[in-house]
C-alpha cells in the first residue's frame, strides 16, 4: 500500500475487525491447506469439514466459523457473518490493489481481485499467508484505538 493511499472505512461487526479475520484466514490456510482456482478443494483427501481453501474461501470461513462451500452469495446480506466477510475481503482487495479497478476501467469485485491474485501462476501458500498477515498489520496500524494495547 502506498503511504498516501487511504483504505476505505467500512462498517464491521464490533470486535471482529478485518485484521482479526485476515489473521484467522492465514491461520486457516496454514492448518487446513491452500488451493487455487476454486474457493474450496472439496475433493482433497483430507478434506473433512474444513477443506483447503483459497484466500477468499479462508476469509469467508474465518467470518462464518464454517466452510461456506456454496459461496458467500448464499449468506443473507444482512447477516453479520456476510458483512464481516465482505468487509475483510474488500480491505484485503484494497490492500492488494488500492482501489481495485482493472486495466479495462470497470470496477472489479473484491472476490475478483483476490481470486486473480490468489490464482496467479507461481503464487505460494507462504506468500498468501504472509500477505494476509501484512494486510492485517496495516489495518491495525492505520485504525488505532487510541488506548493501551
Residues near 33 by beta carbon (within 8 Å), at least 6 away in sequence: 41, 44, 46, 51, 52, 53, 125
Task: Check whether 9 has a pLDDT greater than 50.
Answer: no
The pLDDT tens digits for 11-67 are: 444 468 999 999 999 999 999 999 999 988 888 776 677 899 999 999 988 988 877
CA atoms within 13 A on the CB side of 45: 0
In a domain? residue 6: no
* Count of domains for the chain: 1
Q: What is the mean pLDDT of residues 94-113?
A: 72
Give the span between the Cα atoms of 25 and 22, in whole angstroms: 5
Residue 116, phi then psi, degrees to nearest 5: -60, -40
In a domain? residue 80: yes
In a domain? residue 147: no
Give the span between the Cα atoms of 117 and 31, in whole angstroms: 21
Determine the angle formed by the axes of helices 55-64 and 18-32, rounding to 10 degrees: 110
In a domain? residue 3: no
Residue pair 58/114 in contact (Cβ under 8 Å)? The answer is: no
In a domain? residue 5: no
With H, G, I as helix, E, B as strand and everything else as coil, classify residue 40.
Answer: strand
In a domain? residue 13: no
Range of the domain at 80: 18-142
Quote the pTM value: 0.79
In a domain? residue 4: no
Amino acid at each position: 500500500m502506498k503511504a498516501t493511499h487511504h483504505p476505505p472505512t467500512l462498517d464491521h461487526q464490533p470486535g471482529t475487525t478485518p485484521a482479526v479475520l485476515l489473521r484467522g484466514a492465514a491461520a486457516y490456510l496454514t492448518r487446513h491447506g491452500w488451493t487455487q482456482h476454486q474457493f474450496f478443494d472439496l475433493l482433497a483427501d483430507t478434506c473433512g469439514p474444513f477443506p483447503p481453501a483459497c484466500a477468499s474461501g479462508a476469509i469467508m470461513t474465518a467470518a462464518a466459523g464454517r466452510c461456506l462451500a456454496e459461496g458467500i452469495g448464499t449468506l443473507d446480506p444482512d447477516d453479520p457473518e456476510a458483512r464481516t466477510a465482505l468487509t475483510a475481503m474488500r480491505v484485503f482487495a484494497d490492500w492488494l490493489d488500492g482501489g481495485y479497478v482493472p486495466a479495462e476501467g470497470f470496477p472489479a469485485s473484491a472476490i475478483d481481485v483476490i481470486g486473480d491474485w490468489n490464482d496467479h501462476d507461481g503464487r505460494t501458500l507462504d506468500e498468501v499467508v504472509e500477505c494476509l498477515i501484512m494486510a492485517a498489520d496495516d489495518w491495525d496500524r492505520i485504525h488505532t484505538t487510541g488506548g493501551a494495547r
